[in-house]
Amino acid sequence: ETGVTQTPRHLVMGMTNKKSLKCEQHLGHNAMYWYKQSAKKPLELMFVYSLEERVENNSVPSRFSPECPNSSHLFLHLHTLQPEDSALYLCASSQAGAEADTQYFGPGTRLTVL
């Protein structure tokens, strides 16, 4: 039990659909992250919210749009995705400013784009 939950666990969508991924952390942390994990590749950091301030990764396509309404919730809005966006999307949280700033992960959403 990591204290970070994600829904849905699996998602299949067409390229014209709009969907959202949800993440919730129950650890009292003040930073949240979205990562993309593709087979045999390093985790790719997509977005960071720290102390409710967004740190944007400029290499993320605009078809991915994050939203962080408060320190416990994080969303990733998806629209007009491409088949190469199929991957495991992981959410994580941490306590920014702590010595180790260890990130704790949710179980991920397995996304398939047809």
- State the residues that interact with other proteins by CB under 8 A: 2, 4, 40-43, 45, 48, 90, 96, 99-108, 110
Name which of 22 and 107 has its Cβ closer to other proteins: 107
Least Å distance, CB 35 to other proteins, is 8
Question: Smallest Cα–Cα separation from 96: which of 12, 8, 5, 27?
Answer: 27
Least Å distance, CB 53 to other proteins, is 14
Name which of 44 and 67 has its Cβ closer to other proteins: 44
Name which of 90 and 113 has its Cβ closer to other proteins: 90
CB 33 within 8 A of CB 91: yes
**Type and span of the H or E element at 67:** strand 64-70
- Residue 85, phi then psi, degrees to nearest 5: -80, -5
The letter for the amino acid at 112 is: T
Name which of 21 and 48 has its Cβ closer to other proteins: 48
Least Å distance, CB 92 to other proteins, is 8
Determine the distance from the C-alpha atom of residue 99 to the mean position of all C-alpha atoms in its chain, rounded to a whole number: 23
